[in-house]
Amino acid sequence: MKESTVYQRRTLVASTVGLHARPAGLVARAAAGQAAKVRIAKITGGVAGDPVDAASVLGLMTLGAGHGDEVELTADGDSARESVDALAELIAQDLDA
């Protein structure tokens, strides 16, 4: 039996409003289209908080991740790296425009 591969990556939230409203919707839509299920957690004091489903707009908004906050994305499985990297790169962009 093949062992599951977990992939994690941290990035900073670039959007001025953080992961709220429009940026949360864009990230959730992108997460829903990924091959692997991605979870996201806000980093506080270097430690990841409780993760939420990155495909959930409400979940993303409850993180309270603001501009400049660090978040950690996690997924497992064959497409974990590609899925996490795609979302990390999106979150690192200013999605307010």
Residues with catalytic roles: 20
What is the rounded distance in angstroms from the CA atom of residue 78 to the CA atom of residue 45?
Answer: 31
64 SS3 class: coil
Buried/exposed 81-90: b ≥16 CB within 10 Å, e otherwise: eebbebbbeb
